[in-house]
Structure 1
Amino acid sequence: MKKIVLVGTLVLMSLSSCVSKKKFTELESKNKEIQDLLNSATVKLNNCLTEKSSIASQLEYLKKNNSDLINSSKELTVLTTKGAQNLEKSLESLKEKDLKISRLQDALTKKDSVTLALVTSLKKEVGLNDPDINVNVEKGVVFISIADNLLFKSGSYEVSPGAKSVLAKVAKVVNSKPDFECMVEGHTDNVPIKSTVLLDNWDLSVKRATSIVRVLQNELGVDPKQLIPAGRSYYVPLVENDTPENRSKNRRTKIIILPKIDQFYDMIEKEMKNLEAK
C-alpha cells in the first residue's frame, strides 16, 4: 500500500483578489491533520494485517484438530460445541478484519488512482516535449510548472496572448474534475522589483497568480470555487539565484491540482472511525 502524503506548507499572500494568509494557514493546518491521519491509518492497517495473519494461523490449527478427531474416531463426527464456537468466532473475526482492511485500502488508494488518471490526462493535453512545461507528482499531488517566459514579459504580471493556449489545456483538465481544486502559485527570482506599481517580489508573485486565475475563470470557464491564487516570492527556489540561467528557472508559475481537502479528509476520517469501532 502506498503511503499518501499531501501538499506541504504553502505560504499564501493575499491581496484584494487572492487567498488570505488565514485561509492558507487553515489549508496548511488541515494538510498536516491529513498527514497525521494517514500515518495513523497506516499503523492501524499494519496492525490489522498482523491480527489477520494470527487469526489465520489459529484457524488452521482448529481445522487440523477437528480433522485429527475425525480420523481417530474412524466415523463421521461433528465438531464439539466449544470447537465449533471457536471456529465460528475465528471465521467471523477474520471476515471483519478483511472487511476493515479492504475499506481502508479503498479509501487510501482511491486518491492514487485518480491522481494517476489526472497525470495521464495532463500529459496528454499539455504534451511532454516542451522543456518549459513540467508535469509531475510530488507527495501524491499533481504539479504543473510553467516557465514565466511562456506566461509573462519580464517584470510584468499581464498574461501574454500566447500563454492562453497553454492555460487552455490546463483548464480543459480542471474543468473535467469539478471535485478538484486548482492552486496557482507565482514564483520569482531574488532580484528586487523596481516599479511604482509593484511593491516587491511578494507583490509580483501574487499579482501573477491572480492574473492566471482571472484568465482561467473569465476566459476559459473554470469554476472560481476551484481556484486558489497564491504568491511565494523568491523563497522557494528550484536552484540558487546565482546566475541568469538559474534565476530564469526560478521565475515560474506552478499549478497544483488536488482533491478538495475537506472531501478527502472526511473520507479518511470516516474510514478511521469505522476501523476503530469494529
Structure 2
Amino acid sequence: MWKKKKKQTDSETNDFTTSISDLMAGLLSIFILALCYFMLNYQTVTSKYAGNMELRTQMLKDVGNDLQRQGLQVHIDTKQGVLRIPESVLFESGEASIKPEGQAAVTQLSQSLYRVITRPEYKEALETVFIEGHTDNVPIHNEFFQSNWELSTQRAINTWNLMRNDIPDFNSQFNTRGEPIFSCSGYAETRPVQDNGLDNNTEEGRAANRRIDIRFVMMPPKDANETAGR
C-alpha cells in the first residue's frame, strides 16, 4: 500500500515538473519574440530619427547657401539646427525696430526660407521653426523695455511680423499635426552661444550673443503601433 502511494506521488511530481518546464519554455519564447519586436521597432525609429536629422542639416545648408549667394552672411549651426543672424545686421543697440538694411536682410531670409521649407521632402518632416531673440548680459531698463526679456521677445516678434508680411503664405504653413509651423520666443541673456570660445563678459562675447536665431525642429519619428492603427 505504501509503495503504491509512493509511486503515485512520484508521478504527480514528474507531471508538475514537466508543466513548469513547459510554462518556462513558453514564457521564454514570448520574451524572445517581444525582445525581437522591440529591437526591430527601435531600429526603425532610430533610422527615421537619423533621417530627419540629415534632412534638417541639408535644409539649413540649402537656406544658408542661398542667402550667401545673395551676399547675406549668416552662421549655420547644424548640430543645434540653427541659422543665426547677428544683431548688427538687423537692429541698432538696445532697439527692437528693424533698421532699413535689416529689413532687406529679413526679406532675403523670408524668400529663401519659403523656397526651401515648402519642398515636399522638407515640408512633411518639419515640426516647428522658432524665431528666437537673444541679448547679451548687460541689463536694460528704459522707457521702452524694462528688461532684456522684453527686448529679446519684441525683436523676435518684429522679425516674424516682417517675415509674414513679406511672405503671407507663412501664416498658412502647418506641420503634419495641423499645428502652425512658426513660433516666436525671447530668451534675454539666458542662452549665450556656447561653442565660440568667447567670454560672455567681454564686448566680443556680448556682441556674439546679441542675435536672432532661426531654429528648426523636426517631427519626431512615428511609433510603429500608431502608424499601423491609422
Q: Could you state the TM-score of these two structures normalised by the residue count of structure 2?
A: 0.64
* Match in the other structure for 2:30: none
* Match in the other structure for 1:228: 183
- Aligned residues of 1:190 and 1:234 also touching (Cα < 8 A): yes
CA distance in 2, matches of 1:254, 1:189: 14
CA distance in 2, matches of 1:241, 1:102: 41
* Match in the other structure for 2:148: 201
TM superposition shift of 1:214: 0.3
CA distance in 2, matches of 1:131, 1:246: 22
Aligned pairs for 1:144-155 (under 5 A) are: 144-155=83-94
- Aligned residues of 1:48 and 1:101 also touching (Cα < 8 A): no
| Alignment gaps of 5+ in structure 2 | 1-34, 172-179
Residue identity matched to 1:236 = R
Residue from 47, 68, 78 that aligns with 1:127? 68
* Match in the other structure for 2:164: 217
| Alignment gaps of 5+ in structure 1 | 1-46, 52-96
CA distance in 2, matches of 1:163, 1:212: 9
- Aligned residues of 2:56 and 2:216 also touching (Cα < 8 A): no
Cα offsets for 1:3-35 (capped at 9, x unmatched): xxxxxxxxxxxxxxxxxxxxxxxxxxxxxxxxx
1:131/1:211 CA distance change after superposition, 3 Å:
closer
* Match in the other structure for 1:73: none
TM superposition shift of 1:211: 0.5
Partner SS state of residue 100, structure 2: coil
- Aligned residues of 1:202 and 1:232 also touching (Cα < 8 A): yes
Partner SS state of residue 109, structure 2: helix
* Match in the other structure for 2:99: 160
CA distance in 2, matches of 1:107, 1:167: 32
* Match in the other structure for 1:171: 110
State whether structure 2 residue 205 is matched by structure 1 residue 246.
yes
CA distance in 1, matches of 2:68, 2:181: 23
Cα offsets for 1:109-151 (capped at 9, x unmatched): 431342233023112212289896201212xx52111110000
The ranges of structure 1 where at least 4 consecutive aligned residues each deviate by more than 6 angstroms after the TM superposition are 128-131
Aligned pairs for 1:85-164 (under 5 A) are: 103-104=44-45, 107-127=48-68, 133-138=74-79, 142-164=81-103
TM superposition shift of 1:273: 5.7
1:215/1:255 CA distance change after superposition, 3 Å:
same
1:147/1:132 CA distance change after superposition, 3 Å:
farther
CA distance in 1, matches of 2:103, 2:72: 17
TM superposition shift of 1:164: 2.8
CA distance in 1, matches of 2:87, 2:103: 13
1:240/1:130 CA distance change after superposition, 3 Å:
farther
TM superposition shift of 1:232: 0.4
User: Which structure has the larger Rg?
Assistant: 2
Count of residue pairs brought into register by the alignment: 175
Cα offsets for 1:170-202 (capped at 9, x unmatched): 323432324333201111111121311111110
